[in-house]
A and B are shown apart, each in its own frame.
Chain A
Amino acid sequence: MLTELAWLPKPGDVETAALRKAVSGPLAGGGSAWRRLLTFGWPESDLGKAGRILRRGWASGSLIPTEGGAVALRMLVIATQTFSHMVDAVVASAFRHGVALEIELAEYVSPGAWLANPANRADGFDIVLVAADAAAWRFVPHDGPVGDDGNDRQASAVDHVVGGLVDRGARTVILQTVCDDLSELAIHLDATLPGSRQRYLAALNEAIGHAAAAGGALVLDWARMADMVGLETWWPGRFWFSAKFPFAQKCIPLYGDCLGRILAAKIGKSRRVLVLDLDNTLWSGVIGDDGMDGIVLGQGAAAGEAHLAVQRIAKAYSDRGVVLTVASKNTHDIAMEVFRNHPDMILRESDLSATQINWNDKASNIRALSQTLNLGLESFVFLDDNPVERKQVRDALPEVAVPELSADPSMWPVILQGAGYFEQVSFTDEDRQRGAYYRSMADRNKVAAEAGDTDSFLRSLDAVVDIRPFDPVGRKRIAQLISKSNQFNLTTRRYSEAEIEQLESDSSVVSLQIRLSDMFGDAGMISVVIGRQQDSSLIIDTWLMSCRVLGRRVQEAALMALVDRCVSLGVTRLVGDYLPTPRNGIVADHYANLGFRHIGDAVDGAGSRWELQLKDYIRPDLPMKTEISGY
């Protein structure tokens, strides 16, 4: 089930014919058509075929990698085992997630050996994937317990690799955890024996996790993938001995998809909203017909327990920062009664950030949720037991991910996890608070309706904007905003945590990290600005903001802080670029709205350039308190 990517719909005759045809000629619709074709669950050989055609198209120029909103990334793979047999399938999988991947291979070399050659460089790559098996991290015992689990040696070996790659210019390193090898000896007693292979591998994976956390690397959890499908399925068997394949070929689609998700998360393309259907999804039965005591939920009935498990995983996602919403065909008050008063519900009204419970079609309701939350449809996942509803949403809103589900709910938590829609590259307090924040957004809208005009509404919120330069405390969240923000982002430049650290001490850089809180709660850090001083000008390199605080005039407070900083530096002019992407149209007039003047094209011709002479700046009266510190 997991190796077949069961959450993706199976390709039908139309899709199979399209792929067959694309082998000999171009696919009508180009990159976007390929993205759509890859939303199906192709077997490994077809996936490879698709990847091969994509790579050929990109190389010859007949396909444009970034068409359809994809982001082009170059990845160096340092692989101790064979990797070339799955390059095509990995490329196709990554494209499913909006990443046009160009892969360069260093094959059959351990990371240590690769680093031993001083000529090897990692700059020029967006990503370095260390595809190393257990044997590549030396000292793994084969012959029996060695007395200790080797934590120190393992930690230093992994640190050495991460540090070494960063020294060679690696921007983002991805480490893989390791899994056991079925051909190696292990007995049950080994769990008790220090330095047994089992314990050694566990310690190694711990070291990999620590090194990644300390060095800003990402982890692709190979051991977890192997666990999910089972080691017997994962193990390459004859193809290990004959071709050094790292795992069974039928697991390639899963591996490629997992890697694709991590890459997508890295560039801010992971999903953020889970839309839940109600009847026969969160409980068994129809609340409007069966009533509170007729629906099946909770202990005592198998289906009731399975639906609880579905609620439990939705709740767990929400604790990780996934926004929970409801789209259901029901009478609103009757359905909400279950959230309020059913004793067995895990999900409560306070867990939902927004609901659309009415008799409209699901696609319209999801569109409405997207508008309420200010979040694009490409960040939505829709969970519904009804195949007709799934198809309607899939056809009307192709950006929304709609997992295929088994007929009964017992496998749904597994399918949702297998699909891994909500991968993250970091986890901060802001993530924990996100659901609460989106909930209070609805409350704010109510206050807005009562207050009438916008400014008196904003004043009624008692908001405080906190602005300070980059510092180690904010670094993780700054990196997260820079990697995730797509819509309110003037230049969409991405920087790694290491690069952000350098900015902290660069005296030619003016950096702003901006937090917002109000009577409804603390939004945390929601905006980042980076400027570089050039003589008497400050060039705004990056200006981004979380869309959930749109309309709060935070950008005006940011400009005020920028201007103050410029005055004390003797800068007389601010210059900003707008570089359009398929997703940042909402900031096309950002600089115009702030009183900047259009002075021509951005340097590389990819957008527009704007200027503000400080002598022309008019300080606005902002409906919130602005606290600027640390400059």
Chain B
Amino acid sequence: MDPLVTLNQIFQDELDNPSLQITPETSRDDLESWDSLAHVRLIASIEEQFGFEFTLDQIEGVDSVQKILDIISSQVS
């Protein structure tokens, strides 16, 4: 499945917004509900779904959907 589709479901669940539609361009600045707590929940949920672990730097550094997609593709390939 397209990682963006899976990611969209995770964002909907963790940000508690069933109608949310993210794009690669979506960033933390665009989403008020993407606060620090939601961030950690997103990270944990992505790790569980995709089966890898973010490094500490990545946890702090990812601030857009594109950056998450980049890390996912580097892990999967």
- Determine if chain A interacts with chain B: yes
Instruction: Report how far A52 CA is from B37 CA in the complex, Å.
Output: 15
Are B18 and A239 within 8 A (Cβ)?
no
Q: Does B60 contact A (CB under 8 A)?
A: yes
Instruction: Report how far A23 CA is from B14 CA in the complex, Å.
Output: 12
Are A85 and B56 within 8 A (Cβ)?
no
Q: Does A422 contact B (CB under 8 A)?
A: no
A82 — which chain B residues lie within 8 A by C-beta? 37
Q: Does A584 contact B (CB under 8 A)?
A: no
Are B13 and A242 within 8 A (Cβ)?
no
Q: Does B73 contact A (CB under 8 A)?
A: no
Q: How large is the interface on A (under 10, 10 to 19, 20 to 34, 35 or more residues)?
A: 10 to 19
Q: Does B41 contact A (CB under 8 A)?
A: yes
Instruction: Report how far A242 CA is from B36 CA in the complex, Å.
Output: 10
Are B45 and A242 within 8 A (Cβ)?
no
Q: Does B31 contact A (CB under 8 A)?
A: no
Are B56 and A243 within 8 A (Cβ)?
no
Are A52 and B16 within 8 A (Cβ)?
yes
Instruction: Report how far A241 CA is from B45 CA in the complex, Å.
Output: 18
With A52-B16, A238-B53 given, is the CB distance from A249 to B44 under 8 Å? yes
Instruction: Report how far A566 CA is from B16 CA in the complex, Å.
Output: 60
B69 — which chain A residues lie within 8 A by C-beta? none
- Which residue of chain B has its CB nearest to the CB of A243? B40
With A238-B53, A238-B59, A242-B40 given, is the CB distance from A24 to B16 under 8 Å? no
Secondary structure dominating the interface of A: helix
Starting from the known contacts A52-B16, A242-B60, A243-B40, 14 additional A-B residue pairs (CB-CB under 8 Å) come to: A24-B18, A45-B13, A45-B45, A45-B48, A82-B37, A84-B37, A85-B41, A238-B54, A239-B40, A242-B40, A242-B59, A243-B36, A245-B40, A249-B44
- Which residue of chain B has its CB nearest to the CB of A46? B13
Are B56 and A238 within 8 A (Cβ)?
yes
Q: Does A590 contact B (CB under 8 A)?
A: no
Q: How many A-B residue pairs have CB under 8 A?
A: 29
Q: Does A49 contact B (CB under 8 A)?
A: yes
Q: Identify 20 residue pairs between A and B in the complex whose beta-carbon atoms are under 8 Å apart, listed by A's number.
A: A23-B18, A45-B13, A45-B14, A45-B45, A45-B48, A52-B16, A82-B37, A85-B40, A85-B41, A238-B53, A238-B54, A238-B56, A239-B44, A241-B56, A242-B56, A242-B59, A242-B60, A243-B36, A243-B37, A249-B44
B: which residues have CB within 8 A of A? 13-14, 16, 18, 36-37, 40-41, 44-45, 48, 53-54, 56, 59-60
With both chains docked as a complex, state the minimum distance between the C-beta of B48 and any C-beta of chain A, in angstroms: 8
With both chains docked as a complex, state the minimum distance between the C-beta of A108 and any C-beta of chain B, in angstroms: 12
Within A242-257, which residues are at the interface with B (CB < 8 Å)?
242-243, 245, 249
A239 — which chain B residues lie within 8 A by C-beta? 40, 44
Instruction: Report how far A124 CA is from B1 CA in the complex, Å.
Output: 51
A85 — which chain B residues lie within 8 A by C-beta? 37, 40-41
Instruction: Report how far A45 CA is from B38 CA in the complex, Å.
Output: 12
With both chains docked as a complex, state the minimum distance between the C-beta of B57 and any C-beta of chain A, in angstroms: 10
Within A174-194, which residues are at the interface with B (CB < 8 Å)?
none
Instruction: Report how far A207 CA is from B53 CA in the complex, Å.
Output: 38
With both chains docked as a complex, state the minimum distance between the C-beta of B70 and any C-beta of chain A, in angstroms: 19
B14 — which chain A residues lie within 8 A by C-beta? 45
With both chains docked as a complex, state the minimum distance between the C-beta of B20 and any C-beta of chain A, in angstroms: 12
B36 — which chain A residues lie within 8 A by C-beta? 243
With both chains docked as a complex, state the minimum distance between the C-beta of B45 and any C-beta of chain A, in angstroms: 6
Instruction: Report how far A45 CA is from B36 CA in the complex, Å.
Output: 17
With both chains docked as a complex, state the minimum distance between the C-beta of B19 and any C-beta of chain A, in angstroms: 9
Instruction: Report how far A249 CA is from B13 CA in the complex, Å.
Output: 16
Within A44-94, which residues are at the interface with B (CB < 8 Å)?
45, 49, 52, 82, 84-85
- Which residue of chain A has its CB nearest to the CB of B45? A45
Instruction: Report how far A263 CA is from B17 CA in the complex, Å.
Output: 31
B37 — which chain A residues lie within 8 A by C-beta? 82, 84-85, 243
Contact with B along A2-31 (1 / 0, CB 8 A): 000000000000000000000110000000
A245 — which chain B residues lie within 8 A by C-beta? 40
- Which residue of chain B has its CB nearest to the CB of A20? B18
User: Can you list the 4 inter-chain pairs with the closest CB atoms, starting with the nearest?
Assistant: A243-B40, A242-B59, A249-B44, A85-B37
Instruction: Report how far A238 CA is from B18 CA in the complex, Å.
Output: 29
B56 — which chain A residues lie within 8 A by C-beta? 238, 241-242
Within A508-523, which residues are at the interface with B (CB < 8 Å)?
none
With both chains docked as a complex, state the minimum distance between the C-beta of A18 and any C-beta of chain B, in angstroms: 16
Instruction: Report how far A23 CA is from B37 CA in the complex, Å.
Output: 20
- Which residue of chain B has its CB nearest to the CB of A88? B16
B41 — which chain A residues lie within 8 A by C-beta? 85
